A and B are shown apart, each in its own frame.
Chain A
Amino acid sequence: MTEPGSIVEIEIPAGVPAAPPGSTEQRRSHGPWYLWVISLLIVCVIAVPVTSLALRLLDATDAAWQSLLSWQTVRLMVRTLVFTALVTASATAVGVSGAWLLARTDLRFRRAWGVAFALPLVIPSYVIALVLISASGPRGLVADITGVDLPHLVGFPGAWLALTLSTYPYVFLITAAALQRVDPALEEAARGLGASPARVFRTVVLPQLRPAMGAGALLAALYTLSDFGAVSLMRFDVFTRVIYAQYSGRIDRSPAIVLSIVLVAAALIVIWAEQRTRGDGALFSRKPTRPPSVYRLTPWQRATGTTFLAATVAAGLVLPVAVLSAWLLRGLTSGIDVTIPFDAIAGSLTGASLAAIVAVAASVPIVVLAVRYPTGASNALERAVYVMFSLPHITVAIAVVAFTVRYARPVYQSLLVLVLVYAAMFLAQATGPAKASLLQIDPALDDASRGLGRSHLATMARITVPLMSKGLLAGGLLVFVTALKELPATLLLRPSGFTTLAVRIWSSADELLYTQAAASALVLIAVSVVPVYYLSIKPKDVVGV
């Protein structure tokens, strides 16, 4: 980046950027045709599970529909939404606090803290739940070590803690990336005009973070909405449990599919809520040439901040690793055979990296259309991505199996389908950071490039995409680590003989073979350290902006 940043502009764009010479009115409002062609292809992939679901709904029995209209459904729906709101609130609070502490203060060992703070991302939520259950209670690990009798961590507190720990890293990573791009000059101006640090944060920093926080909170909310493993182990009753119960308890799959419409409705509510609170959100500034200013902490603030980071890392990372290691050691000392699951490692890496590449490639046209050419259609496209993310994986998988077995037999049970489903389900994780980074790029740069005679495509390839690279990399790595821990869709859609670490952890734990489960889980965490290292706070040259 060599562009001078001496003049700072924050604009809330009233409309679209000025048209370059020669472009037509229509192009200006709808965007170039090839973006739409690619987007339509993406829509087709997303449409497969959705239409397949719709077709199954037409076949559904009356009894299945009746289950929708019970008080039980309404009660659970309310409970699920309240639970989702609480988890999202705590995850956002933890994630944003961590991001600010690690991106903008003079706290020591920020790099190491950043990696540790982001790492809970890679631990599947059902593993976190299993570990919390095992560590708490009068016979748990914590009681064994400290001699303090802890209550059993189950029900609401357990589910809330497990999901907060599983989802705050999404908020943290996206917000941290945005914080690094906040222009210090604005804050300095506000400070110079006499505003207190708290006021500066509230009125200057926070509004600039709004798109990133919204994207992170949305991911956390939708993850919570569709989680089954952690809530069921914690025995906290939410909607996914009913869907799963209907699914596993019958050969007839239509009641489960009918019930998942309710979850889709809930997702739409959450997406709508995020959009409502965002306001005009589209906020960009010229790229700052200086790194953001560093806030000097007082000793008291330093102690509080360190305690907060330490407590979060202790619960989200140290405890799981300690419990898993304890299981592994206990098993090894009592002579239980443990194998290193090489086939599962290969399967996990292949599936997750292909999914990340496909998702990042797909996110670019969607985000460019949504941000640069905001029309009803481009907006709907972006929303569709989030709806896809919120669908319970088991529902998507059933729908895709039903579709491919009938209409796409050559790719039935193929790696291709698994990768496309991963990419479609987690596309929102790629579009979120991509959008946040694009929103911070001044559209005047595109205009300048096109004013100098570059085509749309060349401008995208030479200017827009390189400027977005930080967001794209972050998005790709998010998809990668999320796909690594995916379970229900993998179980149904994988090619025969294909296995992943998440599958092995689940199946070992399901049989109470904790030694082997612990070995596989520790491998999964180890495999994810490198991507998470890149994702957590890092110098700009790593990303090559």
Chain B
Amino acid sequence: MRRLLVAGAVVALAATACSSSDDRSLTVYSGRSEELIQPLIDRFEEETGIAVTVRYAGSADLAATILEEGSSSPADVFLAQDPASLGTVATAELFTPLSEEQRSRVPSRFSDPDGYWLGISGRARVVVYDSTNVDPSELPQTEDGFTDPSWSGRVGIAPTNGSFLAFVSAKILLDGRDATLAWLEGMAENQSPTFPKNSAIVTAVNDGQVDTGLANHYYLLRALAEDPEVPGRNHFFAIATAGSLVMPAGVGILASSQRTDEADAFVDFLVEDASQRYFAEETFEYPLVPGVPADDRLPPIETIPTPDLDLSLLATTLDEATDLVAEAGLL
């Protein structure tokens, strides 16, 4: 048995060693999960003949990894869930600017103003609520209403989650540090239950553990696809605040990449209409290329009130966001 294991291991090692000798290849660091993006990458490989090796991990992990690797990163392309991770790499000057043509595909508010990264799909911040316990008309106009004592213990948040921290970073930029800290303290005072991640909040709302929660819009649609009976519903804030932001997932090309043609082809591919339709239909995100419709259960992206915010600045307030969350006692 042991000899067999050793033999198997040697074969596997050998296979790993010889697998990267293809001529047309590309290494992608992806903060988007394998479940969501691999089918699209398979399609890219088929269409172009470029072999793609993907490293999947959290977006912030990969951003930190790229910073550690510096100019000798094996990655050619960085695909991230949130603007803060992309902004971190851009600030460290490790991205190369994207072409005008690529940038023109997506409205400028979803991309880096300096052209170092491009939004590829949108994720709206929403309130998920349990429709059996909560009447949507009771829900507040902005996230600030949730610090009211009537919501005590009824709003799930994920203070350690990347999307929530990006939202706090945005709130710092929009409302200032003091107002953000006051809001976080209000949520803490209200004994808001904390969860490790968005998906846990949506599950808890559907299970009746908590009445509402702050999450990204698409988790509920996936829960509905798995089980159409779940009672959760999405609520979009009516007033433009950090709580109604549409955060883009995006892509950038590493300045250290030796495979810029392949990397360009990959970025082009992600903003093709067909790929954008994939995001709408398979991951339930908002396509960002104009003319490609989102899932018809969602309000059109143009109708979501959006605060005026340069998303590339989110990276600058990310550490401060974690400080404030800790100061408010939510960690």
Contacts and interface: CB of A to CB of B under 8 A. Distances in A.
Interface stretch (A28-36, A135-143, A176-184, A209-217): A135-143
Nearest to A347: B12
A242 B322 CA distance: 11
A250 B9 contact: no
Contacts of A503: 34, 56
Given A249-B325, A251-B64, A251-B88, A509 B199 contact: yes
B34 A350 contact: no
A491 B202 CA distance: 24
A97 interface: no
Interface string B34-72: 111000000000000000011111101101110111001
Contacts of A515: 226
Interface in A473-496: 491-492, 494-496
B193 to A, nearest CB: 6
A353 B33 contact: no
B35 A513 contact: yes
Interface stretch (B155-163, B241-249, B295-303): B155-163
A233 interface: yes
B303 to A, nearest CB: 25
Interface in A228-247: 232-233, 235, 241-242, 244-246
B42 to A, nearest CB: 11
Interface in B185-232: 193-197, 199-200, 202-203, 206-209, 219, 222-223, 225-228
Contact of A152 (B74, B209, B326, B331): B209
Contacts of B159: 245
A413 to B, nearest CB: 7
Interface in B149-197: 159-162, 165, 193-197
B12 A346 contact: yes
B165 to A, nearest CB: 5
B321 A235 contact: no
A248 B64 CA distance: 10
A349 B8 contact: yes
Given A244-B160, A507-B33, A512 B5 contact: no
A357 interface: yes
A354 interface: yes
A249 B208 contact: no
A49 to B, nearest CB: 15
B319 interface: yes
Contacts of B329: 72
Contacts of A244: 160, 196
A512 B16 contact: no
Contacts of A235: 193-196
B318 interface: yes
A235 B196 CA distance: 8
Contacts of B56: 491, 499, 503, 507
B96 to A, nearest CB: 20
A3 interface: no
B226 A514 contact: yes
Contacts of A87: none
Interface string A317-360: 00000000001001100101000000000100110011011000
B202 A137 contact: no
Contacts of A512: 199, 202-203, 219, 222-223, 226
A312 to B, nearest CB: 25
Contact of B226 (A336, A346, A415): A336
A495 to B, nearest CB: 6
B130 to A, nearest CB: 10
Nearest to B9: A354
B2 A248 contact: no
Interface string A487-524: 00001101111110001100111111111100000000
Interface in B82-96: 88
B319 A250 contact: yes
Interface string B1-23: 01001101100110010010000
Most-contacted residue by chain B among A353, A409, A499 (CB, 10 A): A353
B276 interface: no
B207 A137 contact: yes
A133 B322 contact: no
The main secondary structure of chain B at its interface with chain A is: helix
B9 A249 contact: no
Given A134-B207, A233-B200, A491-B57, A405 B69 contact: yes
A401 interface: yes
B274 to A, nearest CB: 18
Contacts of B208: 137-139, 152
A139 B232 CA distance: 13
Given A244-B160, A249-B160, A405-B69, A510 B194 contact: no
Given A140-B207, A245-B160, A251-B319, A511 B58 contact: no
B27 interface: yes
A140 B209 CA distance: 11
A154 interface: yes
Contacts of A497: 19, 53-55
A134 B2 CA distance: 39
A9 interface: no
Most-contacted residue by chain A among B12, B161, B208 (CB, 10 A): B12
A371 interface: no
Contacts of B197: 510
A515 B322 CA distance: 34
A204 interface: no
A126 to B, nearest CB: 9
B35 A507 contact: yes
Interface in A450-482: none
B216 to A, nearest CB: 11
Contacts of B36: 511
A353 B8 contact: yes
Given A357-B5, A497-B54, A497-B55, A242 B318 contact: no
A152 B65 contact: no
Contacts of A67: 326
A252 interface: yes
29 contacts: A134-B207, A137-B209, A139-B208, A152-B207, A233-B200, A235-B193, A241-B196, A244-B196, A245-B325, A249-B60, A249-B318, A249-B321, A330-B226, A350-B9, A353-B9, A405-B68, A405-B69, A415-B16, A491-B61, A492-B57, A492-B65, A494-B55, A496-B55, A497-B19, A499-B34, A510-B199, A511-B222, A512-B222, A512-B226
Interface of A: 67, 72, 133-134, 137-140, 152, 154, 232-233, 235, 241-242, 244-246, 248-253, 327, 330-331, 334, 336, 346, 349-350, 353-354, 356-357, 401-402, 405-406, 409, 413, 415, 491-492, 494-499, 503-504, 507-516
Given A249-B325, A330-B227, 10 more contacts: A134-B207, A152-B209, A241-B196, A245-B326, A246-B322, A248-B162, A249-B321, A349-B8, A357-B9, A508-B35
List the 5 closest A-B pairs by CB distance, nearest first: A249-B322, A232-B196, A496-B55, A245-B160, A350-B12
